Structure 1
Amino acid sequence: MHPDTSSADIRRRFVEHFEAAGHTAVPSAPLLVDDPNLLFVNAGMVPFKPFFLGQETPPYQRAVSVQKCVRTPDIEDVGKTTRHGTFFEMCGNFSFGDYFKAGAIELAWDLITKPVADGGFGLEESRLYPSVYEDDPEAVELWKKITGVPDDRIARLGKSENYWSMGVPGPGGPCSEILYDRGPAYGADGDFGAEDRYLEIWNLVFMQDELSAVRSKVDFDIAGALPKQNIDTGMGLERVAFLLQGKDNMYEIDTMFPVIERAQELSGRRYGADPVDDVRFRVVADHVRSSMMLIGDGVTPGNESRGYVLRRLLRRAVRSMRLLGYEDRALPELFPVSRDRMAPGYPALTADWDRIAQVAFAEEDAFRSTLRAGTQIFDNAAVETKAAGATVLAGEQAFALHDTYGFPIDLTLEMAAENGLTVDEEGFRALMAEQRNRAKADAKSKKGQHADTSVYRGILDANGPTEWLAYETLTTESRPLALLAGGAPVPALGQGEIGELVLDRTPFYAESGGQVADAGRIVFDGGVLEVLDVQRPVRGLVVHQVRVLEGEFVSGGTLQAEVDPDWRTGARQAHSGTHVVHAALREVLGPTALQSGSYNRPGYLRLDFGWTTGLTDAQYRDLETVSNNALRADLAVGWEYMTLDQARDWGAIALFGETYDDTKVRVVEIGGRWSRELCGGTHVDHSSQIGTIVLTSESSVGSGNRRIEALTGYEGFAYLARERDVVAQLTGLLKTQPDDLVGRVGDLVERLRAVEKELEKGRLQQLLAGAGALASAAEDIGGVGFVGQVVEGAGGGDVRTLALDVRGRLPGDRPGAVLVIGVQDGKPSLVTAVNEAGIAAGVSANTLLRAAASLLGGKGGGKDDVAQGGGSDASRVTDALEAARAELARR
């Protein structure tokens, strides 16, 4: 591969081309995005969406970026085509009211066709086909004028291909794609639907329309023209890379194929030898890279939302390696290869490698355990299917294995074939479709949740940003700029009414960075407003939600804004306490224990961090000790403003998923290098002012994520005082000293357990004492001695013991069957047992169990001699016994 065609060089050439044309280079935003419509950044324009929606004023007129993106709707098609991948890099140039169609076309065409020696990509013009929206004659003329491309080389396409919108009311417009003709081997001449032949490498969106009543991608109303015409483009780096590198698809480029090469070495199979294996190799290459990038940006595996996507990617990669014949731990072999290829563009992968590896490798270990557990579930399902005389595993069983146990469907198909069974794939797909439809309906219900910020935007444009003084003072004399109720301006608020107030200056902290907003009041001539909440709906504007406590508030005059000093003190203690606990956590567990989220209010803090196991008692104690030693040391707390790059060089920690201003960030440090974090919150001046840090819990909040909760300041002391009172009460009741309390309680617990065991032993003996009477009273049903009994208060273990004991007392030379149903805490449990003579006569414990369990809302399984199950409806136990009798009678 020529060095001028590497992915790193393509990325560099793209940025340099547009920087030379006056564009500001903007670093890639994290993959996590705060958007109700998106799990991840899925296009290069997403970080600029507030500018396109008019929610914020862009600080530049032209921008260029190479944005990390993840798309997962087509995950099942990954590896099957040259186009579908989950992680990709989108190179984009953007104009905010500056150049428009002509400028975008000229800049794109110049870069693509310019010789490599001159900084371009050097693609042959004869292979390039522009496409336009069929109702955009202006674009046609511009393409011909600027590029010299003849009319018959310009494809006219409809709305579904060449009209862009976000799927919600807002900006939209026609677009032009640049298609690369890969030749007749990939499809028919002029068939622009043949995407493998006419490969889209760049899309130029001409944002010119204001859309309303958006019903679908191709069904919407155009309310009018946008006030400013904008440009949003996206060039797929991977697609350009495989063209320039002479490869057949994106999986064979320099940042991905080395993973396939390593997978070949591990599996002993060869890429290109088998089309089925080729798909698996590509899945591995794609999913390893995508997973690594997601973990790098703070995602941890879980069962919902982003965590579920990551878990699925990791498990599909591991599963694909298994299908290639490699059953050892695969990710420790593959992840480093992907890291080494991606790190030149994303050096944080190397810096944060220990944490990334820990998360990924732990998930593979968990999945390997899941495979073992799922195999047992499958084996039971297969036995049950065969016992019923069927050869098809039910679709609902395959779906349960997939949905509940994370068992891949292809593994279920493979194991079913090994057992001489097939799978009801149609039923499985139907259930999967239902699940997807529910997810789509939920996502659709969230569409349109971009808040209408135009009223706030207007206030900001008219008055400028709020003078925000939360770091300097607790009180300000302020002037009201706007009063809103229900999202619209109002002249006044009556007593008890709630509205939104914008001031020219404010001392109130607006909720952000995990810290809740300040509480307090605003005093006006003739009354008082209670401040309920403080937010920043658009950047630079602080909005107070207020309730009128006294008087009638008419906007105007001079106001006194007053933060509750006790509230602010508690908030400062909690936020600084969060930083202390985070630093202590890394000291106790190591540098890979990084915060993934936080929340703090006066006296309370909550810190989430990526970790795969719970803290030991010793680690828990050490964490609290290290935290309080930091308070005792009275460490200085300070903050500085610097660029994001300087903050990183300084060792400051950024919160995953947060977006930071690259020109200026605030770094808060406690004890110098001991704790340095990017943070906009309010803090104490010395660590001793936190008072105390009392850990109250450590728990799991999903696979690979833990949560620490703690109290600070007065609330921490109050908590300890309550515990002291409890200890005093217990020592009084037990007539012992505090130092002996644990031993005394331990002795009482052991004595209680011993008594409970004796009671249990006596209860079981009493239960079994009736086994002989039950056996002797067996009823004859079709020549089979049958015992059916309901036992109140018996659990599963007792039921099994009684059923086996009764079966042992039945005459051995006569067919016999036993069904015992226990009911404990309203839940039935069942055991059927059949003797050898009964089995010889064709009686099956499994068959009897299914007949009874189906009436109790449950199921179960086992063998012909013993089967066990449970249910959810204990009201029909009599009917269940009758169903077993009927099954015997039909034999």
Structure 2
Amino acid sequence: MQTHEIRRRFLDHFVKAGHVEVPSASLILDDPNLLFVNAGMVQFKPYFLGQQTPPYPRATSVQKCVRTGDIEEVGKTTRHNTFFQMAGNFSFGDYFKEGAITFAWELITKSQEEGGYGFDPERIWVTAYEQDPEAAEIWRRVAGIPDERIQFRDGKDNYWDMGVPGPGGPCSEIYYDRGPQYGKEGGPIVDEDRYLEIWNLVFMQDERGELSPKLGNPPVGVLPKKNIDTGMGVERVALLLQGVDNVYETDLVRPVIEKAEELSGSRYHVGSDENDVRFRVIADHARTAAMLIADGVNPSNEGRGYVLRRLLRRIVRSARLLGATQPVMAEFMSVVSTMMSPSYPDLATDFERIERVAVGEEAAFLRTLDTGSRLFELAATEARTAGKTTLAGSEAFALHDTYGFPIDLTLEMASEAGLSVDEEGFRTLMAEQRQRAKADAHSRKQAHADQSVYKELLDTHPTEFTGYTELNSEARVLGLILDGQRVRHATQGQEIEVILDRSPLYAESGGQMADIGRITAAGLALSVNDVQKIGKKLWIHKVTVDEGEIVEGSDVLAQVDPQWRRGATQGHSGTHLVHAALRQILGPNAVQAGSMNKPGYLRFDFSWQGGLSDSVRQEIEEVTNEAMLANYPVNIFETDLAKARSMGALALFGENYGDRVRVVEMGGPFSMELCAGTHVHSSADVGPVTILGESSVGSGVRRVEAYVGMDSYKYLARERALLEGVAAALKVSPEDVPTRVESLVERLKSAEKELEKHRAAAVLASAGSLAASAERLGDVLVVAQQAPDGIGAADVRTLVADVRGRLGSEAAVVALFSASDGKVPFVIATTEAARAVGLKAGDLVRNVAPLIEGRGGGKPDMAQGSGSNEAGIAAAIAALRESVSANAK
């Protein structure tokens, strides 16, 4: 049975049983505890936490998930993936244990002809929490599973919570016996390779405190309603129904391995365990990377982007170690799109962008590999010169951590160079880095914000947003929140949250900043500083009480600052115009990756590789302003999501839209987007748009910033005044300023070249006097002193080499120390005759560097370093003389 069919049967089974089918959420959700969605229940957390009332009593979904707890271990087992599909059914206070067990048993054992999976009931084992005999009794009664195939386990295995205070409960897991060829008899407590877990049923009934019941701590309470959260691993069911050994050989994954075989010339499962791991890494990471890019993640050096970067680079690394010599990413992304798009159509419709992001990162990493290779050669040469056979763990770690150079390639290249690597030292440094990262993550991790204070209001009185049609609305105060607690009143000077039944003030979302304004009544005045929303239906006004007392239940007038709103609509509509201009000029792959707009200003992030030329930026500005001058009417209407997409309306990555959506259209096909923001009535109302610049905000993501309306005019006025000031200073007309400045720059360059000649002459002149000052220590001539005044760090190396040359064939050592701006760069050189008696520049540098609180190194004939203690120069020179004396005859 194919994986897409497994998904379909699961959803059909539960829809027929009265569940609402809910689409998979994006892998990116606004959750402080999660980098990515990692379980099917994540999008339902507000219901389980009791923060919101669910709109349906039971639901089902197939959620795309990513878990990256230990990427380095991927491929070493055949049961785990970073990306996987979690099929689940959920009950919010409806059915409980018996219902969940019955639904699961029916689906897995019902014949395939009847729409089930057709698993042999005699090969199914289950586990239950050791303190939950009720679940075992239900399995016996409903499914007829005998006691010998029911096993009890402790909280680490059979209790579930979210890792922070909140809901939890015992769980019961379903396993399938794959047969004696896969391991020992005795059930899942003996061998989880033979007995493969396919489904986990969580009976969510407890409230967990700071300490988890998984570790034997008692729950702190009982949930007001008992809930069900289950998760069936689609890939694991696929491997069983397709009769293959592991998830990497299933229908949606094996084609990536086959493509890797084709590109590398190596073969999977032909005796090389290391190569098999590399094939599995490619297959796993290619799927995960494609899914992340499809949901709007771009490679970067932090957060989600860093995870994606690691995945993509591990693909490239693994392919190279398998023998691939050409770029591979485009091929892998194509295979993933072909195999996965029947379930995830965005992989096909957005393939060009996905491919471009992946290929761009591959190209960047290949450049990194080239740089790392050169740095490795330097480190290897130094090690061999020093007579070492092992590359230090710190060197390998620096290559990995600073330059992204994989340790596997370091080991391979070291072997080719006749060196080993201090792997233990490398692993220690890596472990220390991971520990620091975990400590940082722990310090930032927080429990779920307690939103229960809003639950009653969410359930009974959602706020009606009136701001699309009016700026002033009569309203009733539904609730007042002070320091997370409901209060009945608040007085002058207090900062509180106000919930109204009606509000014209826009709550921050979609890149548009919240409105500011006032809430007033007789004897009452409040300043609205911010507006946020909870559950997409409750407006939270963060206010300062300027005058009087506000009381829950009172009537007020909510007012938007009209000047702020006008500027905000200009900024938001201007963002749509810039987006449309970018797509018109760059093509449909210039996809929105984020935005922020406020009165008079906008910034727009979009997916694109490489910077934009001045001419392209100018063209974007021209097209935007042409659309503004065209005075396009702004049409706004609601329709269903499918129709909006068929019309070509653009949606924002990571946003979960309902069945009904709001479409903002400007100029017919010029711009059409799904948007809940406030907008001008016609494009001319935006006013002039001035693009301030374009820059990179991460790999594959560019940012355009612009002023609109009066802010645009004021900016241009300042630029004009600046130009006129420069023209007056140069005594030319504004039109002639560029020519005049170019002429001055050329004259400056000529003057700098002349100064360079004089400086070089001065350096050469000092070389003669330095050589003449050489003193003899035994048979060795020594020049060791602070560089003459005026000789900067850039000239020290040249001067040392010149002095050494003037000393001819004598055994000689030349050392000069420069000092400026708190730094002490220095260079040491030796002649051939000096090296013959054991005086090597690299050794001398390492001897003297600590005395100036520095470090350095180099070759036997010339080496250099730098320190930070100018007061130590005299001691360093003395140490150098002592070293020379020890080797001189």
Q: Please name the residue that 1:723 is paired with.
A: 719
The answer to whether the Cα contact below 8 Å between 1:668 and 1:678 also exists between their aligned partners in 2 is yes
Paired residues of 1:167 and 1:216 also in contact (CA < 8 A)? no
Pair 1:244-2:241 in alignment: yes
Which amino acid letter does the alignment assign opposite residue 682 of structure 2? H
Moved more, 340-349 or 415-424: 415-424
Unaligned segments of structure 2, at least 5 residues = none
CA distance in 1, matches of 2:854, 2:684: 59
What amino acid sits opposite 1:603 in the alignment? Answer: G
Q: Contact between 1:523 and 1:561, CA under 8 Å: does it hold in 2?
A: yes
**Secondary structure of the structure 2 residue equivalent to 1:621:** helix
Counterpart Cα distance in 1 of 2:586 and 2:449: 41
2:41 aligns with one of 42, 45, 48: 45
2:547 counterpart of 1:547: no
Within 2, Cα distance between the matches of 1:398 and 1:857? 24
2:328 is the alignment partner of 1:330: yes
Structure 1 position 493, deviation (Å):
2.8
**How has the CA–CA distance of structure 1 residues 630 and 870 changed in structure 2, closer, same or farther, with 3 Å as cutoff?**
farther
- 5 Å matches for 1:125-136? 125-136=121-132
Instruction: Give the aligned partner of residue 564 of structure 1.
Output: 561
**Alignment counterpart, residue 630 of structure 2, candidates 633, 638, 645:** 633
| Residue 222 of structure 1: aligned partner | 219
Say if 1:887 and 1:534 are closer, same or farther in 2 by CA, change over 3 A.
farther
Question: Would you say the 8 A contact 1:457–1:538 is kept in 2?
Answer: no
Paired positions, count: 884
CA distance in 1, matches of 2:571, 2:128: 56
SS at match of 2:211: strand
Structure 1 range deviating more: 684-693 or 792-801: 792-801
Query: Quick one: structure 1 residues 495 and 856, their matched pair in 2 at CA, closer, same or farther if it must change by over 3 Å?
Result: farther
Assess, with a 3 A threshold, how the Cα gap between structure 1 residues 707 and 871 changes in structure 2: closer, same or farther: farther
After superposition, give the CA deviation of every residue in 1:326-377 in whole Å (9 maximum; x if it has no partner): 1211112222112111111111111111111111111111111100100111
346-355 or 425-434, which deviates more: 425-434
**Aligned-partner Cα distance in 2 for 1:127–1:227:** 37
Match of 1:28 in 2: 24
Separation of aligned partners in 2, 1:539 and 1:372: 49
Q: Give the SS at the match of 1:717.
A: helix
Tell whether 2:836 aligns with 1:834.
no
Compare 650-659 and 821-830 and name the one that shifted more. Answer: 821-830
Aligned pairs for 1:810-889 (under 5 A) are 810-812=807-809, 814-856=810-852, 858-871=854-867, 876-889=872-885
2:316 corresponds to: 318
Q: CA 1:815/1:544 → structure 2, altered by over 3 Å: closer, same or farther?
A: same
Deviates more, 1:208-217 or 1:29-38: 208-217
1:754-775 CA deviation, whole Å, 9 max, x = no partner? Answer: 2222223222321221111112
What's the secondary structure of 1:741's corresponding residue? helix
Structure 1 pair 74–839 and aligned structure 2 pair: CA distance change class (3 A): same
User: Structure 2 residue aligned with 1:522, among 519, 531, 535?
Assistant: 519
1:166 aligns with 2:162: yes
1:380/1:861 contact within 8 Å kept = no
The answer as to whether partners of 2:165 and 2:448 remain within 8 angstroms in 1 is no
CA shift, 1:215, in A, is 5.4
1:406 alignment partner in structure 2 = 404
Please name the residue that 2:480 is paired with. 483
Cα distance change of structure 1 residues 854 and 328 upon mapping to structure 2, 3 Å threshold: farther
Matches within 5 A, 1:772-811: 772-781=768-777, 783-791=779-787, 794-811=791-808
Structure-to-structure mapping, 1:409-424, within 5 angstroms: 409-424=407-422
Q: Matched residues in 1 for 2:880 and 2:199: separation? A: 68
Q: Which amino acid aligns with 2:199?
A: W
Change in CA separation of 1:211 and 1:851 when aligned onto 2, cut-off 3 Å:
same
The 3-state SS of whatever aligns with 2:534 is coil
Asked whether the equivalents of residues 793 and 825 of structure 1 are also in contact (C-alpha less than 8 Å), the reply is no
Q: CA deviation at 1:793?
A: 6.1
SS in 2 for 1:214: coil
In structure 2, the partner of 1:713 is 709
Partner of 2:143: 147
Moved more, 855-864 or 434-443: 855-864
1:232 aligns with 2:229: yes
Matched ranges for 1:307-386 at <5 A = 307-386=305-384
Contact 1:690–1:712 (CA under 8 A) maintained in structure 2: yes
Deviation at 1:618, TM superposition (A): 0.8
Change in 2 beyond 3 A, CA 1:872/1:200: farther
- Flag structure 1 segments of 5+ consecutive residues without an equivalent: none
Alignment match, 2:608: 611
1:597 is matched with 594
Q: 1:118 corresponds to which residue?
A: 114
Counterpart code for 1:387: T
- CA pair 217-738 structure 1, distance change in 2 beyond 3 A: farther
Which segment is superposed worse, 9-18 or 54-63? Answer: 54-63
1:857/1:104 CA distance change after superposition, 3 Å: farther
Pair 1:677 & 2:665 matched: no
Q: What code does the residue aligned with 2:372 have?
A: G
Query: Would the alpha carbon gap of residues 428 and 216 (structure 1) be closer, same or farther in structure 2, given more than 3 Å must change?
Result: farther
Identify the match of residue 643 of structure 2 among 642, 646, 651: 646
Equivalent residue, structure 2, for 1:757:
753
Match of 1:207 among 201, 204, 207: 204
Cα offsets for 1:292-312 (capped at 9, x unmatched):
111111111111111111111
1:476/1:873 CA distance change after superposition, 3 Å:
farther
What amino acid sits opposite 1:447 in the alignment? Answer: K
Counterpart of 2:468 in structure 1 is 471
How many Å separate the matches in 2 of 1:879 and 1:477? 81
Residue 590 of structure 1: how far off its partner (Å): 1.3
Q: Is the 8 A contact 2:479 2:553 kept in 1?
A: no
Where 1:39 maps in the other structure, the secondary structure is: coil
Q: Given the alignment of the two structures, is residue 258 of structure 1 paired with residue 265 of structure 2, yes or no?
A: no
TM-score (norm 2): 0.97
Between the aligned partners of 2:876 and 2:53, the Cα distance in structure 1 is 70
Offset at residue 169 of structure 1 (A): 0.7
8 Å contact kept, 1:860–1:870: yes
Relative to structure 1, the CA distance from residue 200 to residue 808 in structure 2 (aligned partners, 3 Å threshold; closer, same or farther) is: same
For residue 564 of structure 1, what is the amino acid of its counterpart?
D
| Partner amino acid, structure 2, of 1:21 | A
- After superposition, what is the alpha-carbon deviation per residue over 1:367-416, rounded to whole angstroms, capped at 9, x for unaligned? 11100100111111112222333222222221111111111111111111
Q: What amino acid is aligned across from residue 287 of structure 2 in structure 1? A: R
Between stretches 109-118 and 823-832, larger displacement belongs to 823-832
Residue type of the partner of 2:371? Answer: A
Residue aligning to 2:451: 453
Deviations 1:774-810 (A, max 9, x none): 1222234464322223346655531221111111111
Aligned position for 1:396 = 394
Q: Are residue 157 (structure 1) and residue 148 (structure 2) matched?
A: no
Distance in 1 of aligned mates of 2:368 and 2:410? 13
8 Å CA contact 1:269, 1:324 repeated in 2: yes
The alpha-carbon deviation at position 509 of structure 1 amounts to: 0.4
Q: Distance in 2 between matches of 1:584 and 1:790?
A: 61
SS in 2 for 1:179: strand
The percent of aligned pairs where both chains have the same amino acid is 57
Q: CA 1:656–1:880 in 2, change beyond 3 Å: closer, same or farther?
A: farther
Matched, 1:656 2:627: no
Distance 1:276 1:251 in 2: 15
- Any idea what the Cα deviations from partners look like across 1:537-578, whole Å, max 9, x if unmatched? 343111111112223444453211110000000000001111
State whether residues 380 and 862 of structure 1, in contact with CA within 8 Å, keep that contact through their aligned partners in structure 2.
no
**Alpha-carbon distance in 1 for matches of 2:284, 2:486:** 51
Deviates more, 1:151-160 or 1:52-61: 52-61
Which of these residues, 40, 57, 65, is aligned with residue 69 of structure 1? 65
Cα displacement string for residues 480-505 of structure 1 (whole angstroms, at most 9, x for unaligned residues): 11122111123433322211111121
Q: Is the 8 A contact 1:167 1:214 kept in 2?
A: no
- TM-score, normalised to structure 1, is 0.96
Q: Relative to 1, partners in 2 of residues 1:326 and 1:842: Cα closer, same or farther, differing over 3 Å?
A: same
Displacement of 1:219 in angstroms is: 5.0
Candidates 560, 572, 576, aligned match of 1:579: 576
**Structure 2 residue identity aligned to 1:373:** T
Structure 2 counterpart SS, 1:213: coil
Question: In 2, distance between residues paired with 1:565 and 1:65?
Answer: 44
- Secondary structure in 1 matching 2:202: strand
